Structure 1
């Protein structure tokens, strides 16, 4: 959601975009990197972080990217640039995948064990720091990453990784969302759209709707749509601001019966207090005619 949503405006949510994001940005990038990184120590290094040997220029470049990541991400978060911060983390995980592939530890573990050991040490170093970097965005997933590395209590900031740290058995951290699950969620949205919002009889009974007669009417200065009406509802007269001026002149309404919601919370419109609401149709502005009902009679 953070990757897809714009930072300064509203956005539309799409289950298809969500599915692609989980697959492309999570399962295929950090998910793939972390699973391979955690699996190799279990297979070849007794389930522990191997030692780092002599570093090549490529190793140093990779290590520097890990060291500076917390500062970069922290600065972006301080500026509320959440998407850029998350994309920097995803980019770091992509770099990890490329480094892993280029180093080919599945080959060097037999041909050059020291090289494989260094590669796996640096990859686990990145994994530990990815767990911490992801905390502001996905605290549960980040917690699982750190738990695998027994680093639950580590604070924010670059973390060195010592040789011999136990790596728990690897588990898939980000699962791809199957098409069937997405179609099920889409169907729920369609069902919700088809549902009609209902009210209870008690909701309706709480509305005091009465027959009234307009005793005076005048335009409100500065508005082309509003009229100020004084309406007799039997027990009292009330002032109502009504958006009827586009269809009715003040003269059209004087001594005309109307239907009024009389227990609406008072509000000010164009600075004029309104104590109720005249009922009319939404588009055509046709007043709801109470016929020969008596003034003050309640609508039930």
Structure 2
């Protein structure tokens, strides 16, 4: 009754959820949302993914489906990447190389390295049992950061900033790695100062427990595995916030054996694997011989394409598509509609009256849900684009180009 109701939706379905959905909820007697938040698009090369865009991008670099990414890296690391990178309400670009870079940086280098260092040193120097924290003031600054972090994370989540909340958690991990590097517990143990080494490791493993619990909503499986490795499994019946306790794991808790949680990923090996999986089409020897003059076509091939002059009689912007214009064109006595990616270079007003050249015998295609019957010709170099046009009154709409 007193809760704040938030509905998270995709930004390209704002109208149905902003108008029709509240009406349906009201009719059913269900409380209306206090807030609608439209999630941004995941883009590749700055473009919203679609069948057409994916094919274009695949020609430049291998593209794998999200299911393949989950199979390759695991569901939790992919969940982490999505929450870590996306600012709710904005678009976010991604590539598989960007995913690998983030996972290596945050999970393998920072969190995974911290878990490995702390547990290995405890096993080597304290018989796999967590050493006592004999000096309560040891690492006091780090402890303060760890104890205030839950409030900071909760505030950021309430502000709908899960990416910044996740960033704060990893910042504590990095701070702890710096804390260990500064105190060098391996050197302290080597010179016989086990108390100093033990205090450092006892503080670090307490931080790891805080981190594991706070990351549980982001990476539930990996977080449970982390907490198991430090001898402090999470009671899943408890709320995450109620599980936070600086005094755990307790002195003398025995650490079990465990596999590395976040092995480093070699992007070059992954890239080779992706390229090797791309199907190749092998031609018969006879056909290969005929293709010696690669790229050349016959005159018959050329005349399969019907190029005609068309006059633009109307032009409109396409809703939510900065690069597209919807054009009504006249080809002889026929009027048809095409969608063209020229909005960055020509305004609708500039297009009206132009005599352009179109491919008139293309099969109709849908672009952003709008039917397009043809394709205009244009020349592009760098960031400049110019239409192929016909001058003069003597050449009318519908004339063949050849």
Instruction: Name the TM-score, length of structure 2 as normaliser.
Output: 0.47
Q: Contact 1:49 / 1:165 at 8 angstroms: preserved in 2?
A: yes
2:330 aligns with 247
1:71 aligns with 151
Q: Map 1:191-206 onto structure 2 (within 5 A).
A: 191=278
2:218 aligns with 137
1:156 aligns with 240
The answer as to 2:183 corresponding to 1:103 is: yes
2:261 aligns with 173
The answer as to 2:205 corresponding to 1:124 is: yes
Q: Give how far 1:5 is off.
A: 3.6
2: CA distance between counterparts of 1:77 and 1:38?
Answer: 31
Q: Give how far 1:46 is off.
A: 2.1
Q: Give how far 1:151 is off.
A: 1.4
Q: Give how far 1:125 is off.
A: 0.5
Q: Contact 1:19 / 1:182 at 8 angstroms: preserved in 2?
A: no
Secondary structure of the residue aligned to 2:179 is helix
1: CA distance between counterparts of 2:199 and 2:258?
Answer: 20
Q: Contact 2:87 / 2:161 at 8 angstroms: preserved in 1?
A: no
In the superposition, relative to structure 1, how do residues 5 and 182 fare at CA in structure 2: closer, same or farther (>3 Å)?
A: farther
The answer as to 2:374 corresponding to 1:281 is: yes
Q: Map 1:1-300 onto structure 2 (within 5 A).
A: 1=81, 2-56=83-137, 59-109=139-189, 110-148=191-229, 149-153=231-235, 155-157=239-241, 158-159=244-245, 160-161=247-248, 162-184=250-272, 186-187=274-275, 191=278, 224=314, 245-247=328-330, 252=333, 280-283=373-376
2: CA distance between counterparts of 1:83 and 1:133?
Answer: 13
1: CA distance between counterparts of 2:119 and 2:144?
Answer: 21
Q: Contact 2:97 / 2:267 at 8 angstroms: preserved in 1?
A: no
1: CA distance between counterparts of 2:327 and 2:213?
Answer: 60
Q: Contact 1:41 / 1:50 at 8 angstroms: preserved in 2?
A: yes
Q: Contact 1:225 / 1:244 at 8 angstroms: preserved in 2?
A: yes
1: CA distance between counterparts of 2:145 and 2:257?
Answer: 27
In the superposition, relative to structure 1, how do residues 7 and 182 fare at CA in structure 2: closer, same or farther (>3 Å)?
A: farther
Once the two structures are superposed, what CA deviation does each residue of 1:197-236 show, in whole Å capped at 9, x if it has no partner? xxxxxxxxxxxxxxxxxxxxxxxxxx9469xxxxxxxxxx
In the superposition, relative to structure 1, how do residues 281 and 136 fare at CA in structure 2: closer, same or farther (>3 Å)?
A: same
1: CA distance between counterparts of 2:233 and 2:86?
Answer: 31
1:210 aligns with none
2: CA distance between counterparts of 1:134 and 1:7?
Answer: 18
Return 5+ residue gaps in structure 2 as ranges: 1-80, 282-312, 317-325, 336-369, 378-396
Q: Give how far 1:166 is off.
A: 2.1
Q: Contact 2:213 / 2:234 at 8 angstroms: preserved in 1?
A: no
Q: Contact 2:131 / 2:199 at 8 angstroms: preserved in 1?
A: yes
Give 1 or 2: higher strand fraction: 2
2: CA distance between counterparts of 1:245 and 1:82?
Answer: 45
2: CA distance between counterparts of 1:107 and 1:87?
Answer: 31
Give the superposed CA RMSD. Answer: 3.3
Q: Give how far 1:32 is off.
A: 0.7
Instruction: Name the TM-score, length of structure 1 as normaliser.
Output: 0.62
Once the two structures are superposed, what CA deviation does each residue of 1:217-261 show, in whole Å capped at 9, x if it has no partner? xxxxxx9469xxxxxxxxxxxxxxxx8853169xx469xxxxxxx
* RCO comparison, higher one (Cα < 8 Å, 6+): 1
Number of residue pairs aligned between Structure 1 and Structure 2:
217
